[in-house]
């Protein structure tokens, strides 16, 4: 499994700003062949990624999706609409969506099904809200993951993002903690009777939570860390390119 390194710009980058951002980023990543990269932009800027990144190795996607393919859902965006824009990835279940919009584990699972139904890969964000011991966070992680049983493991990425490590002023998780958490996620995936241990190994488990250029190396050195999901640091395309180019010790 090659490394998977990507970013979500959250509610940043207008279509004009996204065009300028991608015009800088694309040549900076032109030499990257040993790992996969992606950029998740706001709905209004996805068409820019399709136009600016066509023919490159950088893939693009969306930050959310509605669980239904069509219907009377004013203001929502469906998976077929995203697939039509060439999206490869769709993020679902981010802590901010769960917190601000009351998204449940059941709704997140329904969104995963919709994404996969349209031939895209779902990036499912999981993680504990408060810093606690592994024995205490395991049930929380299991609750978030158990409804994914039965999903296509070949079109599934799990992003471990502890809420306490996200946002301005947050304390980054130590690499050793991240490695242990990824092992716990992997064990929970393998414990699914529907997936089984062999298929669960095809699920990439990536880390997101205050990832910065100077901290990427130690994170990638941890066994079980299959890549990185970068937040605000990647709003600088040069910083994101530096993270992508981080050698694995």
The answer to whether residue 95 is catalytic is no
Residues 234 and 140: their CA atoms lie apart, in Å, by 28
Nearest CA to 246 out of 223, 213, 222, 224 is that of 213
The answer to whether residue 161 is catalytic is yes
Residues 5 and 80: their CA atoms lie apart, in Å, by 24
- Exposure class string for 187-222: b at 16+ Cβ within 10 A, else e: ebbeebeebeeebbeebbbbbbbbbbbebbebbbeb
Joined together, the tokens standing for residue 126 give 């999981």
Catalytic-labelled residue, pool 91, 103, 128, 161: 161
For residue 128, give Cα distances in angstroms to 135, 139, 189, 215: 12, 10, 16, 21
Catalytic-labelled residue, pool 94, 128, 182, 222: 94
- Residues assigned a catalytic role: 94, 161
């Amino acid at each position: 499994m090659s490394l998977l390194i990507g970013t979500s710009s959250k509610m940043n980058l207008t279509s004009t700003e996204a065009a300028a951002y991608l015009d800088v980023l694309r040549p900076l990543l032109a030499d990257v062949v040993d790992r996969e990269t992606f950029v998740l932009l706001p709905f209004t800027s996805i068409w820019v990624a399709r136009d600016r990144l066509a023919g490159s190795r950088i893939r693009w996607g969306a930050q959310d999706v509605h669980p239904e393919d069509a219907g009377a859902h004013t203001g929502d965006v469906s998976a077929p609409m995203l697939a039509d824009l060439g999206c490869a990835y769709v993020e679902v279940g981010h802590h901010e969506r769960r917190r601000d919009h009351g998204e449940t584990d059941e709704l997140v699972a329904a969104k995963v099904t919709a994404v996969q139904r349209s031939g895209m890969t779902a990036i499912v964000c999981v993680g504990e809200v408060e810093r606690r011991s592994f024995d205490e966070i395991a049930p929380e992680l299991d609750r978030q993951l158990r409804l994914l049983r039965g999903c296509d493991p070949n079109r599934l990425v799990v992003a471990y993002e502890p809420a306490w490590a996200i946002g301005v002023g947050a304390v980054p998780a130590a690499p050793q903690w991240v490695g242990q958490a990824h092992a716990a996620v992997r064990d929970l995936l393998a414990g699914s009777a529907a997936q089984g241990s062999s298929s669960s190994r095809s699920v990439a488990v990536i880390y997101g939570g205050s990832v910065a250029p100077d901290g990427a190396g130690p994170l990638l050195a941890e066994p079980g860390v299959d890549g990185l999901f970068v937040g605000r640091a990647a709003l600088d395309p040069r910083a994101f390119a530096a993270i992508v180019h981080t050698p694995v010790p």
